[in-house]
Amino acid sequence: MNDTFNRNLSVLKRHPAAYQLVKGYAPRFAPEKYRVENARNGQPTLALHEDGARPLSYHSRYDPQAEAKKQVAASYESQSHVLLLGFGLGYMAEEILLQLKVMVGGPQLFVIEPDPAVFVAAMQARDLSRLLTDQRVALCIGMGPDEIGDFWNVNLDWSVLERLAIVDHPPAKARHNAYFERVVEKIRYLCNRSKGNLVTLMHSGFEFHSNYFANLAAGFTLPGVDRLFGKFRNTPAIVVAAGPSLDRNMHHLKSIKGKFPIVAVDTALRQLVANGIRPDIVCAADPSYENSLDFVGVENEADVILAIEPMTHPDIFESFKGPKMLMTFGGGLHPVFKDLREPVGTLICWGSIATTVFDLVRNMGADPLVFIGLDLSFEDGRLHARGSYSDDLLFERIHSFTSIEHESADYINTRGRYKLVRSDGKVLYTDENMKLYRDWFEDQFRQTPVKIINATEGGVVDKYVDIMPLTSVIAKYADRAAPVREILDEALQRPVNADCNALRERLMHYRKLIRRNESEARRAVSVCRKLLNACADIEPARLSGKASAEYYDVMKLHDDICIEKDLFAWFSIHQTKFMTRHTMELNNLKASPRATVGDWIKEISGFLAALESFHEYQIPLLEEAITSLDRADKSKQSLKGDLSR
Amino acid sequence: MEILLNDNRLDIEGIGPEVTVLELLTTVEESLKGTQATVIEIILDEESYSADDVSEISTLKVMDYQKIELFTATAQDMVRAAFADGEAGLQHLEELAVEVASELRIGKVKEGMDSYLEFVDGIEWLVTMLKNADLAFASNMAESSLESDRQSLVQRLGEQMSQVQIAQEAQDWVGLADILEYEFPEILQDSKGFIKSILAA
């Protein structure tokens, strides 16, 4: 390897994954296949000479830099972030860096190069040190599409992603077309998911957080679904979703009750019970009051275990009288108490409770995973199986001039704008959310090592699954039954290891921290007022004496609050909209060389006002949770006393 | 019904309802043998057709038209006409070369290929024109170095077209774009110079 390569390699250490790959790959590099020559203008150019094929030019043999300018100009329009598909010798990446006008203080140019040899050729041919040390560059060299998705999630600051440009290096795109299509599909899916998460958080974050506190005392001592993980190896499990096709085949579930675990979404419980079917487990996680109505009339189902996430509406916690198990999505208060009790069992939630049920049976070790009612499309002019509360909502709209069919049709006509053609040629319509869920499920199915069977007998999910009627599934796997009740009872009855006292003390510690922050924030508000009056128009670097000390004290308080792990997470959830905007404003101020004390202090004042509002909301939640834990502890003590008497 | 050849009335016997325009054309071409002229355009009731458009004119019946006009030209006439239009044609080819190269460089292969076919046709036209230049301009070329210029141009065009074919077969679109963007403009410029010289000589 030449000097240029070694110089590049030393700066490549900034990108550990690429560094390790290149270091390992370089000794195997075949220069006769990846030929670097000088173009007419003296710049290096690359041609690929594969066995038995004619040479393929990666860059112009006349002027590779001018070519890169044209290529970038064709697909880049001042977006904040770029996904570059193919690195070649790096000309396009350099051109994009010149064109990126908005600086956000993190990776903005994600370079995807599937062939490590091309990257090694570039490292040998050109001095890439400037590009490799640029903070805006993130390298995905020789990674698979799923690895790129993970890398993207970890390295991208979603709060500053405004618009994304997908720019091809055409020869690389032509050579690895299927790979790049998969990468783009993965990134699109992650962007949609992240957009969905942010929107959900903005709308419901406040509700999630309040529910966590309200359910804390009741949920903390429940057995976790972790106890079920791995307990159903090689047993088929049925996932019951609430799509309209459920009406078609749910009656077959009676024959397998007690043999295969049947796990349902909350929306399907009422119609299952109405048809004489008790699922073994029903999962609930929706924080809304409306969803709690799915349990009206089925509160006393003692044979059904309710697997519940602490963000669920407290009415469900209170009203459901059957056995309960706790599950977690890993957020909310889980990090606060997870070391104080036995494992809960962390599951995925991707917008729909059906995604959680799927992850639960996957963690239970079941194989195959069998879906019914997973339409994710409108069927026979209906949105859900008959009898779900969501169906009731449409009934409520009916008056003398309309009908349930009319209301359903109205919903479908307004929302069902996606037309999907199934592999058997049937055309179905779906809405944006269900289409996203379908993409999610198919992406997960692809990555799940056990067999997935879609026995919905309708709907639009047909990739990476075996399609089979439910009766055939039951017949085929009849010999793989498990003692379902016995396994579930064992998981429910073992005593739960959870330290309530330690939890109460921890909550009291948070209360103390909030009180302290409250008083410091009040002082800071008055300092901000003073600074705005005295030195709003000057730049922070030009402050001196007391004003400088006060200014930097306020900034330090801001930074200290932002690094308090748990409290800042709660604050961000309560003030999601403000914090999203605040992060962008801070980035703009950092990027602006002429930002004044006034600009900074106005933004910090907004932050302090949001903090005050958070404190007003948070203190009562903490007080109530502490009181509930006290109450639970006292009743436990009194029960112990009664028993001893 | 009236049939005119270069504006002169033609009397043809035996035209019945089943006789096609192609059959009429074949009869007229027979009568032109030995004159070095060939029919290049047919106008049927003011609608123009090329004499090469065999599939279309073979379906048209002579008796369906009131007026049929046939126009002829000699090879010499055609070469002269081509040289007269040469500069504009070459200008168009230069623009096409740049347009195709730009599309190919940004990966728009399908779009590029549409214009590419037109470019290849244009180069064939240029080569034919150059090869037949002596038919119309024999005396001009005998008196100067134009003959060696013509041979050189035909050779350069042939070489580049074979490179183009190799790149196209290998789907080396960057390589193809390079030839179109950096090699052809010079040859096309030289061709313009040659045409000017030959017309001025």
| Secondary structure (H, E, C), A400-423 | CCCCHHHHHHHHHHHHCCEEEECC
Using the Cβ of B106 and the Cβ atoms of chain A, whether some distance falls under 8 Å is answered with yes
Q: Do A57 and B175 touch (CB under 8 A)?
A: yes
Q: Do B105 and A170 touch (CB under 8 A)?
A: yes
Kindly report, residue by residue over A8-27, the tens digit of the pLDDT: 999 999 899 999 999 999 89
Residues of B in contact with A53 (CB under 8 A): 170
Kindly report, residue by residue over A76-131, the tens digit of the pLDDT: 988 888 999 999 999 999 999 999 877 766 789 999 999 999 999 999 999 999 99
The pLDDT, as a whole number, for residue A519 is 93
Tell which of B104, B113, B169, B172 to mutate to test the A interface (max A CBs under 10 Å). B172
Q: Do A67 and B174 touch (CB under 8 A)?
A: yes
Mean pLDDT (whole number) for B64-87: 88
Residues of A in contact with B171 (CB under 8 A): 56, 174
Cis peptide bond prior to A368, omega within 30° of 0? yes
Q: Do B178 and A57 touch (CB under 8 A)?
A: yes
Of B105, B166, B171, nearest to A67 by CB-CB distance is B105
Average pLDDT along chain A: 88
Using the Cβ of B174 and the Cβ atoms of chain A, whether some distance falls under 8 Å is answered with yes
Q: Do A61 and B106 touch (CB under 8 A)?
A: no
Q: Do B106 and A55 touch (CB under 8 A)?
A: no
Higher pLDDT, B141 or A492: A492
Residues of B in contact with A59 (CB under 8 A): 174
A3-175 and A500-644 in the same fold: no
* SS3 label, residue A383: coil
Please state at what angle helix B109-131 crosses helix B133-142, rounded to 10 degrees: 50
Is the pLDDT at A645 greater than 50? The verdict is no
CATH number for region A3-175? 3.40.50
Domain at A500-644, CATH from 3.30.200, 1.20.120, 2.20.25, 1.25.40: 1.20.120
Is the pLDDT at A434 greater than 90? The verdict is no
Query: B136-163 as b/e, with b when 16 or more CB fall inside 10 Å?
Result: bbeebbeeeebeebbeebbebbeebbee
Kindly report, residue by residue over A513-556, the tens digit of the pLDDT: 999 999 999 999 999 999 999 999 999 999 999 999 999 999 99
Kindly report, residue by residue over B130-151, the tens digit of the pLDDT: 988 888 787 777 766 888 888 9
Is the pLDDT at B99 greater than 90? The verdict is yes
Higher pLDDT, A486 or B137: A486
Using pLDDT thresholds of 50, 70 and 90, give the confidence band for residue A204: low
């998981």: which residue's tokens? A491
Chain A residue whose CA is closest to B181? A62
Hey, what amino acid is at A391? Answer: D
B91–chain A nearest CA distance, Å: 23
Higher pLDDT, B5 or A189: B5
Of the candidates A82, A109, A68, the residue with the CA atom closest to the CA atom of residue A165: A82
Residues of B in contact with A184 (CB under 8 A): none
Of the candidates A23, A160, A54, the residue with the CA atom closest to the CA atom of residue A100: A160
* SS3 label, residue A388: coil
Q: How far is CA A176 from CA A74, A84, A91, A173, A396, in A?
A: 20, 13, 19, 5, 54
The pLDDT, as a whole number, for residue A644 is 45
Cβ-based neighbour number of residue A51 at 10 Å: 5
Higher pLDDT, A397 or A256: A256
B102–chain A nearest CA distance, Å: 8
Using the Cβ of B184 and the Cβ atoms of chain A, whether some distance falls under 8 Å is answered with no
* SS3 label, residue A468: coil
Of B166, B169, B182, nearest to A62 by CB-CB distance is B182
Report the Cα A386 to chain-centroid distance in Å.
31
Using the Cβ of B171 and the Cβ atoms of chain A, whether some distance falls under 8 Å is answered with yes
Q: Do B172 and A40 touch (CB under 8 A)?
A: no
Higher pLDDT, B155 or B74: B155
Average the pLDDT over each of A329-338, A361-370, B148-157 and give the range with the smallest value: A329-338
Q: Do B178 and A60 touch (CB under 8 A)?
A: yes
Is the pLDDT at A610 greater than 70? The verdict is yes
Q: Do B105 and A71 touch (CB under 8 A)?
A: yes
Using the Cβ of B170 and the Cβ atoms of chain A, whether some distance falls under 8 Å is answered with yes
Using the Cβ of A399 and the Cβ atoms of chain B, whether some distance falls under 8 Å is answered with no
Q: Do A171 and B173 touch (CB under 8 A)?
A: yes
Two structure tokens written together for A398 = 């009916």
B174–chain A nearest CA distance, Å: 6
Q: How far is CA B76 from CA B8, B36, B69, B84, B151, in A?
A: 21, 9, 22, 12, 19
Residue A473 · residue A455 · CB < 8 Å:
yes
Residue A53 · residue A144 · CB < 8 Å:
no
Using pLDDT thresholds of 50, 70 and 90, give the confidence band for residue A643: very low
ipTM reported for the complex, 2 dp: 0.75
Of A40, A56, A70, nearest to B106 by CB-CB distance is A70
Which chain A residues in 54-93 lie under 8 Å from chain B, judged by CB atoms?
54-62, 67, 70-71, 74-75
Chain A residue whose CA is closest to B171? A56
Average pLDDT along chain B: 90
Kindly report, residue by residue over A123-160, the tens digit of the pLDDT: 999 999 999 999 899 999 999 988 898 888 878 877 66
Using pLDDT thresholds of 50, 70 and 90, give the confidence band for residue A167: very high
Which H or E run includes A248? Answer: helix A246-249
How many CB pairs below 8 Å do chains A and B form together?
Answer: 51
Kindly report, residue by residue over A375-401, the tens digit of the pLDDT: 888 776 666 655 554 555 555 665 666
The pLDDT, as a whole number, for residue A198 is 59
Two structure tokens written together for A412 = 């479908």
The pLDDT, as a whole number, for residue A293 is 80
Two structure tokens written together for A302 = 């003692």
Residues of B in contact with A55 (CB under 8 A): 170, 172, 175
Task: List domains and CATH numbers for chain B.
Answer: 2-65 (no CATH), 77-200 (1.20.120)
Q: In what order do the strands lie in the sheet with A466-467?
A: A324-326, A305-308, A281-284, A262-265, A237-240, A369-372, A452-454, A466-467
Using the Cβ of B99 and the Cβ atoms of chain A, whether some distance falls under 8 Å is answered with no
Q: How far is CA A58 from CA A44, A142, B26, B67, in A?
A: 11, 18, 53, 59
Using pLDDT thresholds of 50, 70 and 90, give the confidence band for residue A181: confident
Residue A46 · residue A125 · CB < 8 Å:
yes
Residue A68 · residue A91 · CB < 8 Å:
yes
Of the candidates A266, A268, A291, A264, the residue with the CA atom closest to the CA atom of residue A204: A291
Which chain A residues in 134-193 lie under 8 Å from chain B, judged by CB atoms?
168, 170-171, 173-174
Mean pLDDT (whole number) for A240-256: 93
Q: How many CA atoms lie within 13 A of A555 on its CB side?
A: 14
Domain ranges of chain A: 3-175, 219-493, 500-644
In sequence order, the 6+-apart residues with CB closer than 8 A to the CB of A111 are A84, A87, A93, A137, A138, A139, A140, A141
Mean pLDDT (whole number) for A500-507: 93
Residues of A in contact with B99 (CB under 8 A): none
Chain A residue whose CA is closest to B108? A170
Of A40, A56, A170, nearest to B106 by CB-CB distance is A170
